[in-house]
Chain A
């Protein structure tokens, strides 16, 4: 059957089970938009192309399916760069489709021409420039396959205007991916399994480091079985939260720069680290010179290029985590590790029973309370919290107890401010029955708040909690600790967020007292449209504990006193 490149594009997207794309039209992609009228795919018009990529990313992280963003050439394509880099660093499968000027014009600095495959080369898993209609089908099939297989990541497909306009024979079957050099399905050698099992058997003080790979691989049950059978406790990375239930007795909590002290001490004193689908990012290791100095390391990881990149490991099991754990599970025995577990319990000490709910109300509103209350209210529902980047992100990780995978969506690797609001839109589209909460700072919110219009336009029930401290809080915290409280460029002049939401027709309220938090959350949950709550929290509050950049993981800046949850309590 003869079709235009544009028609082939939509047909291929449908065949890849795409139901929604997030996009913004423009000259070079107009033929594709023209062909949209014959397609069953729903197009969400965004307000900025960066938003489209974060939405595709949020869609992918909430569902595990490939998210799709579409934009025109030049500025449309370059606006996607931040979203693509975000997806790259967090291994999120998205396909970005961009229009390109006509193939005859390439290289002429034509209007809205950018070499977007060149620009995105280092921040995509792979990318394509398509100059003929006959290449569209195979390229789209390859793009989806590459994006979702192995270690997932973003793939960009740049299609020239003439490739969209011209016609050719379309044959889906004949357009099979041809990727002779692509090997996403590696698995370990038998000898490597045996070495790993030997280390596990002999370990006295082992700890599992649980990462994002567990969720990507779908290995939640296997990790749980492994931890329960071996009696090995589990520490989580930020993106690993939800991969192992927070309520599970073997769960230690989050590790790293803002992890609880006992978690980091456990890692530093361990004699075996079992890294499951994590990559020893500098935010979880602190300085590598003193990282877990007495521990043997087993690294289960699908990407061979991650092995020995940051931390030298003793055994590398390169393969899909779920398959690797299923190989290991029949051979691991239960070992009495009560001495080690008791020791960790003593490390926790008072901190483990710290109950911030029962702290007296001193008239201040702390972010930790807001997030803890939000968790208490939403813990029993199918909730997804989408956080931005900064202090609120760390407080959320500390005080919202994630029991389910894909219940936290956040930009970990790139640390992209402005991620939360659009990513939440993608998450809500992917899982319309989930209760979606955006937890965002007043700084990050203003980077992409134009997508409020997208929420209203798509009639999405998304709740937005702005943790508003009038500062770029995390930067201010670094200035407080490391730059002698020289608060350069961190105080924020904010609009009235309640009025702003009102302008979009979004119900909104401001909360200044701790006693108002729960009623506000309940009221938002009860309303059937989007709601924005402006939580005006303590201005100079601090995230504790903190491992300073370049410091050893066990050298944390601790809370000033065990009972004072937050900073200055005048």
Chain B
């Protein structure tokens, strides 16, 4: 048995009412622990795309994939845990920043390539996009100044390279999955 690890699934679903509930309900019913679930539109209006991260060992990950496929509205499931992929989370962090602390906070934001999106007399709001650990890192150094409020979107992920995974509501079955050649490693 392999040890539990964070798995990232990209799930294409039909863009219909209630589909997100079906997916979330599946994870609850089978007692799989979702760490993050995001959903949004894709380049095709009839298809929505979910990024789901879940703590699971290898066998559990296979069962999650099989169970997702049992949902009639699920078009394609890809476990990209061990694939080259761009993984991004977005956070907005409101930090207490009074006169003397303000320059320190701005400096830290700049080190993390975060943007200041709101300035108030007693606080700064910082927006940061990046991998989860980068956001965790910024949060860590901001905490001593006083984090007043924070929100994170949960992660979205996309495989690197030009070949895209395609799933359409017109019916694809198992679509061509991108191979690892022509992968670009730009940041």
Residues of A within 8 A of B (CB): 117-118, 121-122, 125-126, 129, 146, 178-183, 303-305, 307-309, 312
Contact = CB atoms under 8 A, between A and B. Distances in A.
Interface in B9-27: 13-14, 17-18, 21-22, 25
Nearest to A312: B59
A121 B25 CA distance: 8
B95 to A, nearest CB: 40
A308 B62 contact: yes
Nearest to B73: A181
A121 B21 contact: yes
Contacts of B69: 181, 183, 304-305
Contacts of A309: 63
Nearest to B21: A121
A122 B170 contact: no
A125 to B, nearest CB: 8
A303 B70 contact: yes
How would you classify the secondary structure of chain A's contact residues: helix, strand, loop or mixed? Answer: loop
B4 interface: no
Contacts of B17: 129
Contact of B14 (A117, A180, A303, A305): A180
A542 to B, nearest CB: 35
Interface string B53-93: 00000010011001101111111100000000000000000
Contacts of A179: 72
A181 B170 CA distance: 9
Contacts of B72: 125-126, 146, 179, 181-182
B75 A305 contact: no
A380 to B, nearest CB: 42
Nearest to B29: A122
A305 B70 contact: yes
Interface size classification for chain B: 20 to 34
Contacts of B71: 126, 181
Nearest to A307: B66
B172 interface: yes
Contacts of B76: 181
16 contacts: A121-B21, A122-B29, A125-B72, A126-B72, A129-B18, A180-B168, A180-B171, A181-B71, A181-B74, A181-B75, A181-B76, A183-B173, A304-B66, A307-B66, A308-B62, A309-B63
A122 B25 contact: yes
A178 B169 CA distance: 9
Contacts of B25: 121-122
Interface string B83-113: 0000000000000000000000000000000
Given A122-B25, A180-B172, 16 more contacts: A121-B21, A121-B25, A122-B29, A126-B72, A129-B17, A146-B72, A181-B74, A181-B75, A303-B70, A304-B66, A304-B69, A305-B63, A305-B67, A305-B69, A305-B70, A307-B62
A312 B169 CA distance: 34
A180 B29 contact: no
A308 B63 contact: yes
Contacts, number: 52
A117 B75 CA distance: 21
Contacts of A180: 14, 75, 168-172
Nearest to B59: A308
A180 B69 CA distance: 11
Contacts of A121: 21-22, 25
Contacts of B171: 178, 180
Nearest to A186: B69
Contacts of B13: 181
A125 B67 CA distance: 11
Instruction: Please name the 7 residue pairs, one residue from A and one from B, whose CB atoms are nearest each other, closest first.
Output: A180-B171, A305-B66, A304-B66, A181-B75, A126-B72, A305-B67, A122-B29
A409 to B, nearest CB: 25
A299 to B, nearest CB: 13
Contacts of B59: 308, 312
A146 B22 CA distance: 16
Contacts of A117: 18
B153 to A, nearest CB: 26
Contacts of B66: 303-305, 307
A413 to B, nearest CB: 15
B6 to A, nearest CB: 20
A180 to B, nearest CB: 4
B173 A118 contact: no
Nearest to B168: A180
A117 B73 CA distance: 15
A305 B70 CA distance: 8
Nearest to A122: B29
Nearest to B14: A181
Contacts of A305: 63, 66-67, 69-70
Contacts of A304: 66, 69
Interface in B128-187: 168-173
A118 B21 contact: yes
Contacts of B22: 121
B92 to A, nearest CB: 31
Contacts of A308: 59, 62-63
Contacts of B173: 183
B118 to A, nearest CB: 36
Contacts of B70: 303, 305
Contacts of B74: 181
Nearest to B1: A312
A247 to B, nearest CB: 37
B4 to A, nearest CB: 15
A309 B173 CA distance: 24
A146 B73 CA distance: 12
A62 to B, nearest CB: 26
Contacts of A129: 17-18
A179 B70 CA distance: 12
A142 to B, nearest CB: 8
A180 B16 CA distance: 13
A180 B73 CA distance: 8
A378 to B, nearest CB: 39
Interface centre among A181, A182, A312, by most chain B C-beta atoms within 10 angstroms, is A181
Nearest to B171: A180
A146 B170 CA distance: 18
